[in-house]
Amino acid sequence: MLKVAILGATGPTGKCLTQQALEAGHAVRAIVRNPSKLSDIQHKNFVAVKANIFDEEQLKSEFAQVDAVLSCLGSPPTSPWGEVTLYSDSIKPIINAMKATDRKRLICLTSAGQKIDERAGMMMKFFLKYVIGTILADMSRMETYVSENSESLEYTIIRPTGLTNDALNEKEPVVKEGIHFDLSNPTRIPRANVAKVMLQALMEDKWVNKAIFITMPN
């Protein structure tokens, strides 16, 4: 059994991850801004604590109590001229707090599509550039920060395609290292499957210090 901190545990992927982690026998410390959103989760190995994800000191005292940090944090879409900084602003205190408490394992979510594949259709290009472009840009800043500050860390960055609330799909997902796009496969994956890959990454070493693209197969 591992003790894991889950950031963004109140979001839909975070909730899937929390449930699956508990079912797998891990202890979950959900670090959230509103613990009452998780009052439906009653489990002896679960606690939801209120902490500010931008406050290194608060994160230090939380991370001191866990073995690994998993993040499902996410920002709502903005206008194309808006600015998203959630990912790049939060990753600095997260990594600083992990290093200060000698915690190594970090698994975090970004997204597929940060680099636009020229072969993608017009609608896809429009969506990636003008609908979620500000989010993807900040995810890229976060990824760069993680890889440039990863000494003493064991990180895995997971880049899923479009998320659905479908039940866990029993097929094995497509996992490809280092890429942003793969037009040969569908562009959707259930959040439950993303959570499963996050837990697999936690238990296996094969994706340490890697960014992986994930989606479901045809």
Ligand X SMILES: NC(=O)c1ccc[n+]([C@@H]2O[C@H](COP(=O)([O-])OP(=O)(O)OC[C@H]3O[C@@H](n4cnc5c(N)ncnc54)[C@H](OP(=O)(O)O)[C@@H]3O)[C@@H](O)[C@H]2O)c1
How far is it, in rounded angstroms, from Cα 121 to Cα 113?
13
**Using rule CB under 6 A, residue 14 touches ligand X:** yes
Token pair, residue 35, equals 């613990």
Backbone region of residue 25 per phi and psi (left: phi > 0; alpha: psi in -120 to 50; beta: other values): left
**Using rule CB under 6 A, residue 141 touches ligand X:** no
Closest residue by beta carbon to ligand X: 74
Specify the pairing of strand 162-164 against strand 188-190.
parallel
**Using rule CB under 6 A, residue 33 touches ligand X:** yes
Q: Which is nearer to ligand X, 84 or 153 (CB)?
A: 84
**Using rule CB under 6 A, residue 34 touches ligand X:** yes
Q: Which is nearer to ligand X, 27 or 38 (CB)?
A: 38
How far is it, in rounded angstroms, from Cα 49 to Cα 66?
13
Binding range to ligand X, per CB under 6 A, among 27-35, 92-100, 169-177, 198-206: 27-35
Q: How far is the CB of 97 from ligand X (least distance, A)?
A: 14
Token pair, residue 80, equals 């194309």
> Which is nearest to 173 in space by CA: 194, 203, 155?
194
Judge contact between 174 and 217, C-beta under 8 A. Answer: yes
Binding range to ligand X, per CB under 6 A, among 12-20, 95-103, 148-156, 169-177: 12-20
**Using rule CB under 6 A, residue 35 touches ligand X:** no
**Using rule CB under 6 A, residue 10 touches ligand X:** yes
What is the chain's Cα-based Rg?
A: 17
**Which residues of this chain interact with ligand X, rule CB under 6 A?**
8, 10-14, 32-34, 37, 53, 72-74, 86, 109, 111, 135, 160, 162-163, 191
